Amino acid sequence: MSKNKFMPVDVDRVKEIVVDLREPKPMIYFADLLSSALLGWLLLAASILTSHWGIRVIAFAGASFALFRALAFIHELFHQQAMKGFRWVWHAVVGVPLLVPFLLYLPIHQGHHNSKIYGTKEDGEYEQFKGRFMSKSIELIVVGMILPFALIIRFGVLTPLSALFPVVRQKVISNFVHMSLRLPFRAPLIKESSRAEAMLVEWCCALMVWGLLAFSFLVSVSGLLWWAALVVSIGTLNLLRALFTTHLYVELEQGRDARGQLLDSMNIDNAGLLTQLMCPTGLRFHALHHVAPYLPYHSLRSAHDRLMAQLPLDSEYHQVGMKSLGAGRRRVAGATVVGNLPKSK
């Protein structure tokens, strides 16, 4: 359908419909996180300890999906920053063990919802695919293969060096490892109010690296290899989610307001098992999230159902719903075909 067949979405009306759902429920957060992390680490242990290759593959796949879900709460950490206790528990059970602490995500995501930055060259979570959806996807997957090595260097080497030589933090770390889809990208500095906590977590990650390397040298290198395989597996799952279920990746010189972000994003309507595994913690409602980013993940399904029922059938909100992950991938690939791109002003 052409865009003119849809009624412009009333962002204020959307917010009015879902405003009562904005309060997070900590018990749901803790129960979900701890059960996901516990299941994931137990399945990883089962995969390592079993000698049966079939069971090993199934257990490792289960561990990857469970820990991917636990790690995905990093997105909630940004939007529910008042839940400081939850943030510390998340770091303890998944963020530090996987060497993907909140400090890698915080400076990237703080610009992603900014109406002046979203979808521009300053947005680290955005990239201009411009007719190269497939080749760029393959490139990002290949780059993800070196993520474990990059994380080890980031925390095991650059953290202590930055304590001795401040220029390392100012010039090297900001360009090195962060959760940016755009490569290369210089991450902005973490705000001063968050630096003390980030520094403490950073040194915990450094200790994690040194412990992992010591175990590998003194006991067995297999521990390091299993950890690296897990990081690559989870990173690949997150990349595929980002490519198929979030945005259209059509870069503009100017940013986008809430309505523009909605139209550039997707909801995945299918609630099947694969969608739940690939889009944990409500991430399948990405278009909705960009209109009401304050909503906790456990409220997104209810908010989406309300909007589908209360907004007109020809509303733009209905336009951004995809029937499946495959439909999302096709929409992104089609939007980034050169002939379909908006002309630069």
> Does a structural domain hold residue 11?
no
Mean pLDDT for 195-221 is 95
**What is the band of 311 on the pLDDT scale with cuts at 50, 70, 90?**
very high
pLDDT at 153: 95
Asked whether residue 10 is domain-assigned, the answer is no
18 is a domain residue: no
59 C-beta neighbours (distance < 10 Å), count = 20
How many other C-beta atoms are found inside a 10 Å radius of the C-beta of residue 52? 9
Q: Is the dihedral of CA 69, 75, 79, 84 positive or negative?
A: positive
pLDDT class of 177 with cuts at 50, 70, 90:
low
Structural domain containing residue 58:
25-340
Closest CA to 260 of 270, 250, 269, 268: 250
- Whether 16 is in a domain gets the answer no
- At 338, is the pLDDT very low, low, confident or very high (cuts 50, 70, 90)? low
Number of domains forming the structure of the chain: 1
Which stretch of 127-131, 164-168, 260-264, 311-315 has the lowest confidence by average pLDDT?
127-131
Computed over every residue of the chain, the mean pLDDT equals 91
- Residue that has been written with the tokens 């995500």 in this structure: 105
Confidence band of 345 (pLDDT split at 50, 70, 90)? very low
Indicate whether 213 belongs to any domain.
Answer: yes
Q: Is residue 80 part of a domain?
A: yes
Nearest-angstrom CA–CA distance, 234 and 275: 15
Whether 345 is covered by a domain: the verdict is: no
Provide the terminal-to-terminal Cα distance of the chain, rounded to the nearest Å: 25
Q: Which whole number is the average pLDDT over 5-32?
A: 93
The first and second tokens of residue 272, run together, are: 């099947």
Above pLDDT 90, what percent of the chain?
Answer: 75
Q: Highest mean pLDDT range out of 69-73, 137-141, 316-320?
A: 69-73
Confidence check: pLDDT of 300 > 50: yes
- Residue 7 placed within a domain: no
Looking from the CA of 318 toward its CB, the CA atoms found within 13 Å total 12
- What pLDDT digit, counting tens, does each position of 206-216 carry? 999 999 999 99
pLDDT value of residue 33: 98
